[in-house]
Amino acid sequence: MSLKRGKKPKRRAEKRKPEKMAGKKPGTTCPECGSGSIRYDSIRGESVCEQCGTVLKESMIDLTQEWRAFDEDQRSRRVRTGAVLTPTKHDHGITTEIGKGRGELFKVPPRKRAQYYRLTKWHKRLIKSTDRNLSFAFSELQRLISFLRLSRAIHERVARLYQEAVNRGLVRGRSTESIIAALLYTTCREEGAPRTLDEISKASGINKKDIGKTYRYIARKLHIRILPAKAKDYVPRFGSMLGLSEKVQVRAVDVLNDASKYDVTSGKGPIGVAAAALYISAVLEGEKKTQREVADIIGVTEVTIRNRYKEMVETLGIKDEVEEKVKEEEETINKKK
């Protein structure tokens, strides 16, 4: 067939090669045998050569759909991980323990019990002294957190601080309970949920003087700078302890804000100031509490409440209003009698 000048012969369109099977990665060759037959195992997260079995990649991220569980039985069978890591345990919750309970011994065949008992004994002996210290300290911390009804954030913060103190060797020659109590007192003030030294001392059984001494030492060594506690931080908890409504607590915060403008609260103990503000607000809102009731529940003296009360009502100009409310309440009580 003759061809005309200036025109090129037409070529037939080449047929495309069929795509490789699903599960194989094109363009990858095995470095061992040179084969291009590479298979991706989505279950194991591996790329494997089908010719020689060489594993090219492993520990790959699984991008497939996550499993679901609709009851506790399915959840226990399909679970692939343990509990989350937590600083509130000395081993972060990942250490294996042999013979955790006495009942485990009876699950072992009789001829193996002597060996099992020996393994349990040596397992406990081989634990480091640091781990034993942390285990005891964190059990004491768990008890204090539960007794004082504190949040998990405070729990984890104290655990981290104690681990840092152990790593720096600050716990040698000092009581573990006193260090935990001091760190708890520090963290509560940092997190805006302060507890008084009396409460910490009562919960831990450590003298207030020892807690204060340890607190100053730990704060200096760990470079912790704690600002003085504010009276407003004590209002919600003291109000709950006294059984006062939210309206009274909001009024107490307003009283404290007004008093701070005139520097009435500066230089005064925040606990006594908060108690006096709650007493004034309770009287103004018709939920009167006696000064003795407030003093007994909060843990201050009546004299302290009375002095802070007089200073605040006179400075804020509400003395007449408060005294009138007190007289009305007393007259109502006398009529009922």
The CA distances from residue 327 to 248, 309, 319, in Å, are 19, 16, 12
CB-count exposure of residue 184 (10 Å: 0-12, 13-18, 19+): buried
pLDDT at site 95: 72
pLDDT at site 60: 67
* Least confident among 11-15, 107-111, 312-316: 11-15
pLDDT at site 66: 64
* Domain chopping of the chain, boundaries: 25-57, 129-221, 231-336
Q: Which CATH number fits domain 129-221: 1.10.472.10, 3.30.530.20, 3.40.50.2000, 3.40.50.12280?
A: 1.10.472.10
Tell me the fold of 231-336.
Cyclin A; domain 1 (1.10.472)
Average pLDDT, the chain: 81
What does the pLDDT look like over 14-70, one tens digit per residue?
A: 443 433 333 444 457 888 888 888 888 777 778 888 888 888 888 766 665 567 778
Residue 73 has pLDDT above 60, yes or no: yes
What does the pLDDT look like over 99-140, one tens digit per residue?
A: 666 667 677 888 888 888 888 888 777 777 788 888 889 999
The pTM is what? Answer: 0.64
Structure tokens belonging to residue 333: 């009580």
* DSSP letter, residue 46: E
Structure tokens belonging to residue 51: 């010719």
pLDDT at site 184: 93
Mean pLDDT, residues 210-214: 91
Structure tokens belonging to residue 32: 């061992």
Architecture of the domain whose range is 25-57: Single Sheet (2.20)
The amino acid sitting at 100 is: K
What does the pLDDT look like over 272-306, one tens digit per residue?
A: 999 999 999 998 888 878 888 888 888 888 999 99
Dihedral of the alpha carbons of 115, 117, 120, 123, in degrees to the nearest 10:
-60
Same fold, 129-221 and 231-336: yes
CB-count exposure of residue 298 (10 Å: 0-12, 13-18, 19+): buried
Residue 98 has pLDDT above 70, yes or no: yes
What does the pLDDT look like over 249-267, one tens digit per residue?
A: 999 999 999 888 888 888 8
User: 278 φ, ψ to 5°?
Assistant: -65, -40
What does the pLDDT look like over 172-194, one tens digit per residue?
A: 888 899 999 999 999 998 888 88
